[in-house]
Structures are given as C-alpha cells and as structure tokens.
Amino acid sequence: MSTSNQLRVVFMGTPEFAVPTLKKVAEHFDIVAVYSQPDRPVGRGLEMKPTPVKQAALALGLNVFQPEKLSVSSEVEKLAAFEPDFIVVVAYGHILKQNVLDIPKVACVNVHSSLLPRWRGAAPIHHALLAGDQETGVTTMKMVLALDAGDVYLQAKTPIAEREILPELHDRLALMGADLIVPTLQGLASGELKGEPQDESLVTIAPKLTKDMEVIHGTETVREIDLRIRALQPWPGVSVFFELPNGKVERLKIKGATPRPDWKKKPAFLDESAGTLVIGLSDGCLELNRVQPEGKKEMDAASFLNGLKGRSLNLPLALKKS
C-alpha cells in the first residue's frame, strides 16, 4: 500500500464539525476531491452561503463538488474516476448508497461524534447531553448501508463536565475526531488495524432534533429542563410561552438558567421571587439568568423584570402562541 502522502482520499462533509478533520487529512494525505452540500440561501436577504467545509477546502486549494444527489449514475461515475483509496465522511448530509460505498480501494470511513453503539443517528452530541451522560467521545467506523452500524476502528473518550453546554462539547469532539482520522487511515492502509463489530444490545438512537423540543410545559423536572437548555443550542433552543392577563400569549426564549430544586413555586407558572425570574417545575424551580423576549434582543433577567415597570408576574405557561 502507498505511503500516507500518496494515499488518495475523497473527503465528504458539510458543517463546522467536519472542518478540523478535513484539515488534518489534508496535512497527511492526498485529497483528490471534497464533496459538500450545495450552497443554501440564508438570512433575510437569502444570500447564498457556502458550507464551512467548502470554505475551508477552497482555502486549502482543493477541488469542491456539491451535487444535489450523489446517487445518480453520472455523479457516481465522476466519483469513481478519482480512484480513491479512502472516502472519509464527516456529517456530509447525504446517505451513501452501496454503489458509492464500493468505490474506495480500502474503505469508506466515518467520523461519528459518539461512543458507538451508543447514540447512532443524526444528533449524538445533543442526545448525550439530554440523557445526562457523564462521558462521550468520537468513533471512526466502517460505513455500511445501515445507519452508523459498521465495524468500529478507533475511539476516544472525554468526560462531560457538570455544567457543560453543547457548543463547548461540540468543538472538543470535532478536534478529537480529527486526531483519530490519521491513525485510522494509516492503520487500515498498512493492514494493522481491524474493525470490531458493534454490540447490537447496547445500541441507543439519537434522532434529529425537532421544533417541539423547544417548549417548556412546566410539568418537567428541574434536571430535565436544565439538560435541555445546555443541549438544545443553538437550535431549537428552549422557550416558555406565557399567558398575559389579557389572554395574549408571548414567547420568552431562555438563554441561561440556574437549577433551583430547593425553591418551591407553583408548577407551570412564570413568576418573580425576591427580584429573580423563575419558572415553577414539578420538583423545584428554574432561575432564569438570561432571556430573549419576543421581538427583542437577548438581555439579563433583571432587565426583563425592570421592563415590566411594576407589573406583577405569576403568569400561567401556555403550550403555544394563540
């Protein structure tokens, strides 16, 4: 097998999480093509924006391809013409069919942000936080048709800190994944690294996040909501909908909060307590530190309370806007 810098690699990835691995592969291997999702319109002006991987790849002087569908025969033929030894996939966003998985001479290798078989699926970092896991990590694995079910090559673990939030954990795992890719490809190329089958009895699933995960009903526990605030960043976030005396329902996005299991307030109510903003939950309270009222900028809770100009709270939570 060729030496590292002679190994031909096609890299497939889209978000910021994939960028450190792209850069690490570029340092050690010959990247013959980079595949990423097409540019998408963003913002109020709907300006077309390239993906983070595309931006990084162009800065490295690499050729970028952005097919809407990789599975069509013309795209598969174009990909095969690169004659890659490896295809490296990090959060690409397309499901690879068998005719693509069969192209590389050695393997299709995926960098996955969990300790497989725990948290197979689209949102493993979020679900590790939502579940209150004490540790997580990254896995390099052989790609197969079944979702995240291939043999495991290498893993690296990291503890989850008590108050850790998703952006911090996301960035650390991205760097850990980059550190794993070089020994994975080198070991596979030399024949020294063999994959280990996953234990199917230990599988847990990390499905896509949904918009309805945003809403606090007031019947949840303090720990459950605290985990959601730390995990659901930046989307969908966590919000309460509260009903004003005139019947109007407004949204208040929660940007930062402190669990107060020893405080007692009526469940499912937004209230004020000794100059602080709190939500009553099933087993205590959540003290809101930073919030974003509807149509306004993010502010601290004191500023929100000052804006009430003496009006009392003790407002019932609602499930959605009226």
Q: Print the domain residue range for 282.
A: 211-318
Whole-model pTM: value is 0.93
Q: In the prediction, which pLDDT does 322 show?
A: 47
Cis peptide leading into residue 117 (ω within 30°):
yes
206, 225, 241 — which closes off a domain?
206
> Do 45 and 192 share a structural domain?
yes
> Do 134 and 86 share a structural domain?
yes
> Do 252 and 140 share a structural domain?
no
CA angle 106–112–117, rounded 5-degree value:
100
Instruction: Going residue by residue through the chain, which has 322 residues, state the pLDDT in tens, using 9 for 90 and above.
Output: 556 779 999 999 999 999 999 999 999 999 999 999 999 988 777 889 999 999 999 999 999 999 999 989 999 999 999 999 999 999 999 999 999 999 999 999 999 999 999 999 999 999 999 999 999 999 999 999 999 999 999 999 999 999 999 999 999 999 999 999 999 999 999 999 999 999 999 999 999 999 999 999 999 999 999 999 999 999 999 999 988 888 888 899 999 999 999 998 889 999 887 788 999 999 999 999 999 998 999 999 999 988 876 566 778 888 765 4
Contacts of 257 (CB under 8 A, 6+ apart): 225, 226, 229, 286, 287, 288, 289, 290
> Do 186 and 98 share a structural domain?
yes
What's the total number of domains in the chain?
A: 2
> Do 99 and 190 share a structural domain?
yes
Spatial distance between the Cα atoms of 100 and 76, rounded to a whole number of angstroms: 7
> Do 217 and 160 share a structural domain?
no
> Do 126 and 10 share a structural domain?
yes
For the domain that residue 307 is a member of, what is the CATH number? 3.10.25.10
Contacts of 245 (CB under 8 A, 6+ apart): 315
> Do 247 and 188 share a structural domain?
no
> Do 278 and 257 share a structural domain?
yes
> Do 306 and 195 share a structural domain?
no
206, 226, 255 — which closes off a domain?
206
151, 182, 206 — which closes off a domain?
206
Spatial distance between the Cα atoms of 87 and 73, rounded to a whole number of angstroms: 18
For the domain that residue 41 is a member of, what is the CATH number? 3.40.50.170
> Do 270 and 192 share a structural domain?
no
> Do 16 and 121 share a structural domain?
yes
DSSP 103-147: -SSSEEEEEESS-TTTTEES-HHHHHHHTT-SEEEEEEEE--SST
